[in-house]
């Protein structure tokens, strides 16, 4: 599908599974039914209806409260069963997921398996739903490490420039039904991280300077329970509660005000979910 082209019907939940072989698709369906609950309260239900209605006439940015590797999976499958007007999705991901090495840049069986699993997941989703696009981005942590930077140059030279170009094209060429899914913080949602990464804010400012319509922002999160050890070892095996907040405006031209707005949304979202901050020292951060 050409970037920005609204062609055919919207993406359906069925599309998210049909690119996998029958066994893998059945496992994903079973896991989603067991592990992902969409909050039935009016707040989340109204926010998701608002987002779906808006996508019939425009595009939107969906901020993700991101806590562990692959936590976008329960979120995406949960939203896929609710939203009916999404024609295209752009999901940026950390280039380190492609590298098969640990955070220091050394070969690692664990990270090789993680890369393999990530690629299988992405390939299956893109086969079944070509309107879902995954694009790598290079973070400070990849660029600052000489080993990771060398791998990055081999695999994804100019990766951030390509991502920004695609970002602008999707917003300016796609009239409606396009959702950009982003984690506003850099990396995991660690307490010491800014809740709105400065570079991300600059990117969104650039997009909004070229996008004529008002651009609404929504906040969503899929929150696992952290009260037993196995949830730290394998959080995808925990039950998740998907919570959403209705649209809000991100202040323009003032990073401090924008950060305060995101922080307020984040506090409200977590309170609504009854979320207890995990012990991040027990989670693999990269």
Q: Could you read off the pLDDT of 93-148 as tens digits, one per residue?
A: 999 999 999 999 999 998 999 999 999 999 999 999 999 999 999 988 899 999 99
Round the average pLDDT of the chain to a whole number and report it. 89
Phi, psi of 38 (to 5 degrees): -85, 125
Quick one: tokens of 237? 């095996």
Q: How far apart are CA 44 and CA 264, in angstroms?
A: 17
Q: How far apart are CA 220 and CA 242, in angstroms?
A: 7
Residue 129 pLDDT? 93
Phi, psi of 233 (to 5 degrees): -70, -40
């Amino acid at each position: 599908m050409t970037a920005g082209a609204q062609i055919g019907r919207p993406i359906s939940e069925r599309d998210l599974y049909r690119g996998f072989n029958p066994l893998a698709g059945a496992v994903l369906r079973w896991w989603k039914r067991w592990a992902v609950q969409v909050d039935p309260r009016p707040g989340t239900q109204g926010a998701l209806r608002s987002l779906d209605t808006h996508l019939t006439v425009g595009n939107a940015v969906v901020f993700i409260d991101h806590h562990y590797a692959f936590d976008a999976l329960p979120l995406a499958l949960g939203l896929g069963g609710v939203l009916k007007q999404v024609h295209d999705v752009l999901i940026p991901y950390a280039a380190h997921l492609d590298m098969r090495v640990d955070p220091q840049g050394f070969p690692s069986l664990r990270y090789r398996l993680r890369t393999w699993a990530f690629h299988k997941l992405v390939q299956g989703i893109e086969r079944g739903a070509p309107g879902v696009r995954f694009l790598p981005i290079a973070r400070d942590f990849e660029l600052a490490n000489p080993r990771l930077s060398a791998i990055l140059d081999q695999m994804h030279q100019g990766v951030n420039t390509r991502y920004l170009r695609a970002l602008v094209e999707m917003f300016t060429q796609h009239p409606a039904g396009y959702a950009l899914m982003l984690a506003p913080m850099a990396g995991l949602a660690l307490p010491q991280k800014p809740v709105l990464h400065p570079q991300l804010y600059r990117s969104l400012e650039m997009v909004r300077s070229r996008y004529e319509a008002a651009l609404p922002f929504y906040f969503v999160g899929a929150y696992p329970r952290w009260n037993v050890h196995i949830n730290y070892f394998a959080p995808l095996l925990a039950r998740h509660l998907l919570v959403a907040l209705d649209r809000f405006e991100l202040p323009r031209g003032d990073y401090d005000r924008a950060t305060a707005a995101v922080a307020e949304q984040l506090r409200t979202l977590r309170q609504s979910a009854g979320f207890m901050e995990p012990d991040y020292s027990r989670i693999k951060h990269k």
